[in-house]
């Protein structure tokens, strides 16, 4: 392996890191705004639908849809729709969870997603994890138990919603991995928002609940812009660096969520939540490190048998 290759494997451009951190800041703003709106009495289902409706408009403008036909071209429309349903499920259940949970609690449970994806990647994608990564998955699950503490009076419906949200997000990521090779990035970000907007449209009149003052209107209209622009920043970041190189930086969202929770809602996570989050983040970082090492081993392995052995370790 040449020294040039080694540098490309290890070096991460600073602008890409900044873009990911900025995207996480926007996603934290999105969750904070959603929590505020649902606590003011707006229906989480309608807030979720509006988030994607505004997202669709923002993406059409951002990608200049009138001169970008690749946005509308798809290889598999049913897969695009199903992927959009998973993303919507992740969003609406997250907003439901935010009615009762702190921002730091929901994002901590969300951080368990890389471990679940590692477990699901075997049967669904043929990417089987070795025993080290399975141990990291189990340790991450312990972190979730520390946060939720089932059986000790703290486990509630909000935790159930957060776990469903996280699970739905995992299937969304799995589908993104499968579709990324055949669909354009523009179509993936567009149809993931358009599908829930159209599918939920018949139910919107029964769940509609509009903002009551100027601040609520501003936050309401910003939802889609925060989500759409955040995803756009991630796309820009992943064009400059590999997913594995950038994987640790989304954990910076925990800092924003704790800060917003304290400043806006006067919430600060207890030691159980902070401890469980630390366990989950450590497990996720280990899986990221392990997968990066495996990619390097696969490139240097002289034959397929050595590559297969590396994956099992």
Sign of the Cα pseudo-torsion (145, 100, 26, 199, in order): positive
| Residue 285 domain-assigned (yes or no) | yes
Give pLDDT, residue 306: 44
Residue ranges making up the domain that contains 122: 103-154+270-313
Average pLDDT over residues 237-259: 77
User: 121 pLDDT exceeds 50?
Assistant: yes
User: 308 pLDDT exceeds 50?
Assistant: no
Neighbours of 283 (CB within 10 A): 25
User: Under a CB-based contact definition with an 8 Å cutoff, are residues 80 and 191 in contact?
Assistant: yes
Reported as a single tens digit per residue, the pLDDT across 31-61 is: 999 999 999 989 999 999 999 998 888 888 8
User: Under a CB-based contact definition with an 8 Å cutoff, are residues 196 and 52 in contact?
Assistant: yes
| Residue 310 domain-assigned (yes or no) | yes
User: 161 pLDDT exceeds 50?
Assistant: yes
Choose the weakest-confidence range: 74-78, 121-125, 174-178. Answer: 121-125
The model carries a pTM of 0.79
How many residues comprise the chain? 313
Q: How far apart are CA 92 and CA 43, in angstroms?
A: 10
**In this structure, which long-range contacts are made by residues 7-12, counting pairs with CB atoms below 8 Å and at least 24 apart in sequence?**
9/295, 9/296, 10/245, 11/245, 12/241, 12/245, 12/246
- φ, ψ (nearest 5 deg) of residue 256: -65, -40
Residue bearing the bigger pLDDT, 295 or 233: 233
| Residue 205 domain-assigned (yes or no) | no
Residues near 141 by Cβ (< 8 Å), separated by ≥ 6?
Answer: 112, 115
User: 8 pLDDT exceeds 50?
Assistant: no
Closest among 29, 80, 90 to 189, alpha carbons compared: 80
- Average model confidence (pLDDT) for the chain? 80
| Residue 284 domain-assigned (yes or no) | yes
| Residue 274 domain-assigned (yes or no) | yes
Choose the weakest-confidence range: 34-48, 83-97, 242-256, 296-310. Answer: 296-310
Give pLDDT, residue 235: 72
Residues near 295 by Cβ (< 8 Å), separated by ≥ 6?
Answer: 9, 244
Give pLDDT, residue 37: 93
Average pLDDT over residues 220-241: 81
167 confidence band (pLDDT: 50, 70, 90) = very high
269 confidence band (pLDDT: 50, 70, 90) = confident
Choose the weakest-confidence range: 12-26, 116-130, 175-189. Answer: 116-130
User: Under a CB-based contact definition with an 8 Å cutoff, are residues 98 and 55 in contact?
Assistant: no
64: left (phi over 0), alpha (psi -120 to 50) or beta: left
| Residue 218 domain-assigned (yes or no) | no
Percent of the chain with pLDDT over 70: 83
Residues near 96 by Cβ (< 8 Å), separated by ≥ 6?
Answer: 38, 44, 158, 161, 165
Give pLDDT, residue 147: 78
Give pLDDT, residue 129: 66
Rg (CA), the chain: 20
| Residue 91 domain-assigned (yes or no) | no
- DSSP-derived secondary structure letter, 84: H
Q: How far apart are CA 55 and CA 190, in angstroms?
A: 8
Q: How far apart are CA 233 and CA 30, in angstroms?
A: 14
Choose the weakest-confidence range: 66-80, 151-165, 189-203. Answer: 151-165
| Residue 132 domain-assigned (yes or no) | yes
User: 307 pLDDT exceeds 60?
Assistant: no
The tally of domains found in the chain comes to: 1
245 confidence band (pLDDT: 50, 70, 90) = low
User: How many CA atoms, within 13 angstroms, populate the side-chain half-sphere of residue 109?
Assistant: 28
User: 91 pLDDT exceeds 80?
Assistant: yes
């Amino acid at each position: 392996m040449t020294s040039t290759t080694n540098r490309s494997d290890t070096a991460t451009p600073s602008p890409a890191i900044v873009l990911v951190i900025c995207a996480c800041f926007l996603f934290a703003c999105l969750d904070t705004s959603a929590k505020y709106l649902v606590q003011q009495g707006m229906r989480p289902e309608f807030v979720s639908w509006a988030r994607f409706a505004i997202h669709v408009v923002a993406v059409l403008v951002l990608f200049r849809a009138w001169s970008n036909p690749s946005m509308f071209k798809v290889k598999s429309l049913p897969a695009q729709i199903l992927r959009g349903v998973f993303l919507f499920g992740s969003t609406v259940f997250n907003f439901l969870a935010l009615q009762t949970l702190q921002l730091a609690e929901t994002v901590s449970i969300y951080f368990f997603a890389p471990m679940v994806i590692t477990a699901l990647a075997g049967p669904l994608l043929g990417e089987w994890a070795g025993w080290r990564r399975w141990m990291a998955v189990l340790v991450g699950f312990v972190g979730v138990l520390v946060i939720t503490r089932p059986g000790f009076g703290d486990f509630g419906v909000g935790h159930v919603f957060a776990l469903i949200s996280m699970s739905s997000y995992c299937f969304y990521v799995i589908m993104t991995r499968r579709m990324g090779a055949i669909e354009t990035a523009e179509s993936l970000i567009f149809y993931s928002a358009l599908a829930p907007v159209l599918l939920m449209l018949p139910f919107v009149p029964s769940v509609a609940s509009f903002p009551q003052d100027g601040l609520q209107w501003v936050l309401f209209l910003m939802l889609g812009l925060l989500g759409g622009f955040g995803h756009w920043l991630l796309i820009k970041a992943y064009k400059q660096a590999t997913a594995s190189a950038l994987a640790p930086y989304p954990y910076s969202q925990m800092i924003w969520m704790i800060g917003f929770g304290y400043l806006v809602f006067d919430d600060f996570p207890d030691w159980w939540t902070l401890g469980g989050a630390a366990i989950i983040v450590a497990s996720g970082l280990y899986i990221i490190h392990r997968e990066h090492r495996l990619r390097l081993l696969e490139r240097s392995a002289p034959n397929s048998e050595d590559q297969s052995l590396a994956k099992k370790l």
